[in-house]
Each structure stands twice: as structure tokens, then as C-alpha cells.
Amino acid sequence: MKLAVVGVTGLVGSVMRDVLTERNFEIDEFLPVASAKSVGKKVTFKDKEYTVIGLEDAVAARPDVAIFSAGGSVSLEWAPRFAAVGTTVIDNSSAWRMDPDKRLVVPEVNGVELTDEDKIIANPNCSTIQMVLALSPLHKAFGIKRLVISTYQSYTGTGVVAVEQYNAEKEGRTAENPAYPHPIFENCLPHCDVFLENDYTKEEMKLVNETRKILGDPDIRITATAVRVPVNGGHSEAVNIEFENPFNIEEVKTLLEDTPGIVVMDNLSDNVYPTPLMAKNKNEVFVGRIRRDESVENGLNLWIVADNLRKGAATNAIQIAELITQKALV
């Protein structure tokens, strides 16, 4: 197994190295890849130092798998070039997610659909991944009619520039290159990604479109408000669900408890419910505050939390790599 990580010096790239080590992913040759300005830098992986190489050299090396976390423009240009030499690309950007010819994969939900013809595989948006993992078994059981989503997303999801802005503001300095138009320290911004013509943000529409694609149901009605919050290392979501069919709360809890990758934390008498702080550096998706919405027929409320850099990005991508290796698709 020859594996390349493209964007290895970035925030997600760093976490990918950690997750690959923790999960003991078998690699015969590791290729750390980044943009021209990072070529020649040193990175550490499994206690060994590597020299970062450029994209041209990485393509020439013909890796079996290349995990991309380098932005949409890089993916659009370079993913097809890797695929052309036989590499299976797992892309963490939004570049290929809504391409009708590309799989958008959360392994526990729709990984079974992957074939050896899928040479460019899209990793969903961080907030979508954690949500659909919880929604999938419930949709199969009761049929989701409508979703109302409110997210509380860590500034780490924006990348290194946002982390630098937060740290500068926390220290009382002015950020040299701010990621946001307003302060993020001790603040909340209802502004994740750019605004679109319909007045929703790109992040909000990712939740709409990606959820429908992954669950295979274009008729689910979805609306979302995505908020950036001064939290390090976790996205939280309040998800209101209206089902087509009646449900039992205990059955909902059992379905979630039986879903691989989900941890149910729902014991209110002991104040047990998920928080982003406890989810940090963990690979699972945590679900709590499971309760009936008494204002609508067949309504349910969930609180869903996950580390956005792990299950929301690096871990999900590596789980895809594990899956295609197990299925001998590379």
C-alpha cells in the first residue's frame, strides 16, 4: 500500500497523520504532499521524519490511494490526474460532492455502494457526516419528511487562518489575516462559508444537498442555519425531524445505540448529554437530548456532536480508505 496525503501540512492533514497512526493503517510507502511553498518541509509520521513532496512528484509515484485535504481548486485540477494513473482519490473538499458521477460516502451509511470504478470518492462536509450517521437508521425505520437544522460549528472547521484569528483575539491582538468579517472570540457568527443568491450560506446548502444525496432521497424537505462558534474541536447540531410514520422513543434510542460509530449519551437525571469538549479527539458521533417534538405529529429532536477534524474530516476519509482496501478495490 502506497498512500499519499495531499495537504499534509494543514490542519486536517496533521490530524490524518494522527488517525492513520492510531488506527494502524497498513502502509508500505507514505507520501507527504503539499503545495509548492511547503515542498521540502519536514513532517513526522509514525515516529519517522519525511520530506514533503510536490503534486507532480506524487502523481509520478503512482500511489494506490491519495487522500486530499488541500481545497477545491487543487482537487479539481489534480484528482483527475491521480485517477488517470490508477490512484483512488478520497477528496475532503466540496469539489466533487455533488457531481452525479461521484460517490459521496459515509462508510457506515452507504459504503457498500463503492466499486472498483470509483476512482474519485467525495468525503462529505463535516456537519453533514455526523448528522447523516444518526439520521440514516431513523430514515430507514420511519421515513424522514422534513429536517430543521441548527449548527454550532467550531472555528477550527475554517482552518489555520481561523485558528490564528481566534488566538490573536484571545490575546488582545488584531489578526493580520482574519478569516471572518467579525470577531470570533467570545462571539457567534451566523455565517459559515459564503452567502448565496438565496440568502443561505454554502454550508447551509451543503447540509441540504449532501444529506439528500447520501440518504438517497431527493424529496426530504430541509432547512438549515449554520453558526460559527468560539469552540475548539467539535461541531454540535440541534436537529428537528418530522417523520412520515409514528415512532417510539425507546425504539429510536435502540436504533441509534445499535448503529456503528454512534454513542448515545442521554441520561438527564445525571446531566449526561454530549458536548464538543468531551467529543474532542474522539472518532465517534455522540447523540443526546433525544425527545419528542410535541408541537408536530411524528416530530423528534436530537442533539448531535462530533469532532469536526476527526469523524467530520480525517477519520471518515481514512475509514473510506480502510473500506476500499478491505473490499480489494485498490
Which is the catalytic residue, given 139, 191, 192, 235? 235
Query: How many CB atoms within 10 Å of residue 199?
Result: 7
Cβ neighbours for 173, distance < 8 A, ≥ 6 positions apart: none
Q: For cell 475548539, what's the residue?
A: 232
126, 182, 188, 191: which is the annotated catalytic residue? 126
182 catalytic, yes or no? no
Per-residue DSSP letter, 27: -
Containing H/E element for 212?
helix 202-215
Which has the closest alpha carbon to 33: 65, 9, 61, 17? 9
With CA atoms as reference, report the closest residue to 124 among 112, 137, 115, 111: 111
Identify which of 98, 119, 93, 107 has the alpha carbon closest to the alpha carbon of residue 211: 98
Angle, helices 315-326/11-22, rounded to nearest 10 degrees? 50
Instruction: Mark whether 235 is an active-site residue.
Output: yes
- Report the catalytic residues: 126, 235
